[in-house]
Structures are given as C-alpha cells and as structure tokens.
Amino acid sequence: MPQRLVLTGRSQEPRARFAEELRRLRTERGHSLRDLAKEVGWDASQFSKMESGQTLGGPEIVQALDQFYRTPGLLVTLWELAMADPTQFKEQYRRYMILEAEATSLWHYGVSRPPGLLQTEAYAREALMAGGLRGKELEQQVEARTGRRELLEGSEAPTFRSILSEAVLRTPLPNRGEWREQLEHLVEASERPNVTLQVLPFSTSFHGLASTDLMFLRLLDTRSVAYAENDVHGELISEPSRVERYQRTYDAVRDTALPPADSRKFILRMVEEVTCEAST
C-alpha cells in the first residue's frame, strides 16, 4: 500500500505562500533583514514588507533574491502566481479578474477615470484612497491594480481599446507632477501595437454610456461578457442579449470619438498644459 503524502503545512494561498518562502529561505541561512539588504542591495524595510505580505515587490528584486538564494525560478514562479491570484482583489471583483486574465481582447469606456490597466501607481493610490482604503489594505490593492498592467505586455498580450470621456483628462490628481506622469503613461500606452486609445470630447451629444464605465471581454471560447459599473453598483453581464445591447451602444460611442491619432494629439496637448502650469 503506498504511503500517504505528507502535506507541508504551508499556506495554499499564493500571496501568503510567497511570503512564507521568503522568510524560510532567509532564516534557514541565518540572515537578518539587514544582512539581506547588504547582500542583495534593497532596503531592509522592503524585505520586511515582502515577508509580512504587505507587498509582493517587483520582478527585479524577486529575480535578485532567486539568484542570491540559488533557487533559480522558484521565487519568480511563486511571485507570478501571487500577482495573478484573484483573491488579492476585493471579493466582488474576483470573478471579473479571472475572466480578464483569460480574455483575448478587451474594450473599455471610461466616464471619469482611466481604466485600471492604464493607471500609474500614484493614480491608483489616489483613486483607492478616494474609495476609503487606508494602510495595509490600500497598499495591497494598489499593488494588485498596478500588477494588472502586465496583462497588456508581451507578444501574446490581448488587444485593448479604451475610449476615455474628456472628463477623464480634465480631472487631475492633486500633485501636478503625478498627473503629468499619468497623462504621459496614456500616451505611451497608445503607442503599443495592441492598444487603441480614443478620446470622447465634451462636444459629443448625449449617449447611452454617459454615466456608465464599461468593459467588454472576448473570451477564449469566443463568448463576450461585459462589466458595467457606476458610482454605487457593478455588474458582470453574461446574458448574450444584454451584452449585445451594450455592444451596440459602445459601437455608437466609438464612432463619435476622436480617431486614435487625433486622440493622441489631444492627450499630448493636455500634457503640455500641465507642464506649462507647473512652470509658472
């Protein structure tokens, strides 16, 4: 009779498991956080936050730790699993995040904010703070949101179209430098081959999405689902007839938005305005 496998007793939750492995590797080698900082080159407080689960860190620091501990690929793999884990998001968004990660193409319309996939860290922090988040939860959600940007990178990244109401570009961050960084990030994103960015100017007449943020996802099985959200409610929509109605409304908005080249020029003018304001 085969012996039963003995479980490790370690966490099966990706974020917690990553933090556990970091602590285990360091303590097994007898290093303090200060020792690790001297050897690897990052601040000891950064390693402390990673080992406590407050942050996952970036790919550079994780690769450096893999090299230092001589665990080729182990920590990077655990980090990738933690970054992709939908449980890091609030419960009401988890199903959507799973589908977003599987999508082959995405279409977005934004009423007052750029999509999470195109937000800088500073913008994400301000937006989440406006929603009432603070402390450890805030930092975890900022990291979760900015980590989603990797979805649009790489040779197999899905195609992504975002239509931004002009209100998005007229609602700045309190810090002018951070706001300029966000606008510049939108310009840079629009230059990627898989990203199309359009601006819907104020001069456009009333339309069916005037108060609704919307995202469409085309899935591997060719189905499309939609996620509609306003100030008080968000809904994942899979019923084909409803998705189709939203799609027709979205197409009408897309047809009245500025073309991609003109949209890029529009955002560049906004960058110049912020730069001029900052220098006066």
User: Residues 215-266: pLDDT tens digits?
Assistant: 999 998 889 999 998 766 789 999 999 999 999 999 999 999 999 999 999 9
Tokens read off for 111: 């009423």
In the chain, the amino acid numbered 274 is: V
Q: What angle do CA 155, 161, 167 make, to 5 degrees?
A: 135
The crossing angle, in degrees rounded to 10, of helices 74-84 and 14-28 is 150
Share of the chain above pLDDT 70, in %: 93
Q: Are 107 and 216 in contact (CB under 8 A)?
A: yes
Confidence of residue 279 (pLDDT cuts 50, 70, 90): low
pLDDT higher than 50, residue 4: no
Please state, in angstroms and as integers, the Cα–Cα distance from residue 23 to each residue in 16, 26, 99, 101, following that order. 11, 5, 32, 29
Strands (DSSP E) found in the chain: 105-110, 159-165, 195-200, 213-218, 224-229, 234-237
Write down the mean pLDDT value for the chain. Answer: 89
3-state secondary structure of 235: strand
The alpha-helical segments, DSSP class H, found in 119-159 are 121-130, 135-147
Residues 181 and 61: their CA atoms lie apart, in Å, by 24
What pLDDT, in 10s, does the model give residues 94-129?
888 889 988 999 999 999 999 999 999 999 999 999
Residues 8 and 20: their CA atoms lie apart, in Å, by 12
- The DSSP 8-state label assigned to residue 165 in this structure reads E
pLDDT higher than 80, residue 50: yes
If phi > 0 it is left, if psi is from -120 to 50 it is alpha, else beta; for residue 269 that is alpha
pLDDT higher than 80, residue 277: no
Please state, in angstroms and as integers, the Cα–Cα distance from residue 29 to each residue in 43, 144, 173, 203, following that order. 19, 30, 45, 64
Residues 146 and 175: their CA atoms lie apart, in Å, by 19
Choice between 14 and 157, residue whose per-residue pLDDT is larger: 157
